[in-house]
Amino acid sequence: MSKPLHVLVVDDSAVVREAMTAVLAGGDGITVATAPNPIVARRRMALKRPDVIVLDLDMPEEDGLTFLRAQMAQDPIPVVICSSHSVQGSRAALQALHDGAVEVVAKPRIGVREFVQESKIILLDAIRGAAEARLRKRGAVIPAPAPRAVVPSAVAPLSGASSRRVIAIAASTGGPQALHEVLAALPADTPGIVVVQHMPAGFTAAFAKHLDERCEISVREAEAGDEVQDGLALIAPGGRHLSLKRSRSGFAAVITDGDLVSRHRPSADVLFRSVAEQVGGEALGVVLTGMGDDGAEGLVAMKAAGAATVAQDEATCVVYGMPKEAALRGAIDVVLPLSQVPDCIMRWTKKRLRERNLTGDEQ
């Protein structure tokens, strides 16, 4: 049994507070307190400090971002954002992740008083993951990185060329910031990238756009039939599985629904297994920060198929779950601090290119 947790739900909707309480109170060892706004939340916290806060962002008395920033500066407590699917809600959730929140879950639809079983699994896992997160005090609010200026390159990138090598990346708790650090450091001619970030439906399009504006490579939410291309990262759409299949020119995205796999949809195991089957030794698997074991068995399959594999190290993970589980299964070739992962990707790219040139294989 997991350790007991005390969760504080801060939301101005009585319906949401009731639904969250019903779901969370059914979790082993979880106690729940609620507050309709940050003012009441602070009074509740003075009586009993929560292990995790589930926080709404749009509240009339004091907005959630203001509360989050103050809390992170004074007494960091893991925060799971409960946000709407709207464009404004998605952007606010991304800002909250930048400001110190560790997870985002979708706000239940209006009128929904009971979560379906898989929604309960996702919410409980998000809270368990948040409870394990390593936090630090935040000083003055640092604005999210601004969109990069578009500067013409002296060398035309290979964007648009079908990629014969594939980089598959998975992340969960703490992943949005880790992915930003990795993808923003990669050059425009990087081989095609496919990404699973555990995130609910309605948020990944805004997340992909946020990354696209800040990276040399192009980033977008994957759609069925999208070709894996050099200089392009495809993000699995929230709430749907992403896998690859061979196409006439290389590899194409397959988007499916279906059950949770390894307690997630999208699932890293689904992506990694398809990469093992379709790409084999021309692939690199990367697992970043996150709770649970999603991706571990998929990386075992990738390594068995001849792919190289990399994991983020414990010291730089927000939650050392997914990388640890993959390493315990013998699926990881090298473990690196997050800051060294981009260089590792670039070294692998150059190595594979040299090997293909030596053997005379077509690039």
Q: Write the CATH number of the domain with boundaries 5-131.
A: 3.40.50.2300
Q: Which of 172, 218, 267, 274 is catalytic?
A: 172
- DSSP label at 319? S
Active-site residue flag, 172: yes
The DSSP secondary-structure symbol of 162 reads: B
Extents of the domains making up the chain: 5-131, 166-359
Extract the tokens encoding 220. 């977008």
Closest CA to 291 of 129, 52, 151, 90: 129
Active-site entry in 84, 90, 125, 198: 198
Query: Any catalytic annotation for residue 6?
Result: no
C-alpha–C-alpha distance, residues 269 and 172, integer Å: 13
- Residue recorded with tokens 């307190």: 33
Radius of gyration of the chain (CA): 20
166-359 has the same fold as 5-131: yes
CATH class of 166-359: alpha beta
pTM listed for this prediction: 0.90
Q: Is 202 left (phi over 0), alpha (psi -120 to 50) or beta?
A: left
User: In a structure prediction context, what are the per-residue pLDDT tens digits for the chain, which is 363 residues long?
Assistant: 467 899 999 999 998 898 888 888 876 789 999 999 999 999 999 999 999 999 999 998 899 999 999 999 999 999 999 988 777 788 899 999 999 999 999 887 655 555 557 788 888 999 999 999 998 776 544 555 556 554 433 333 445 688 999 999 999 999 999 999 999 999 999 999 999 999 998 899 999 999 999 999 999 999 999 999 999 999 999 999 999 999 999 999 999 999 999 999 999 999 999 999 999 999 999 999 999 999 999 999 999 999 999 999 999 999 999 999 999 999 999 999 999 999 999 999 998 877 766 665 554
Q: Token pair of 342, please?
A: 């981009």
Angle of helix 64-74 relative to helix 87-98, nearest 10 degrees, comes to: 10
Catalytic option among 51, 212, 293, 294: 294
Report the distance separating Cα 246 and Cα 182, nearest Å. Answer: 26
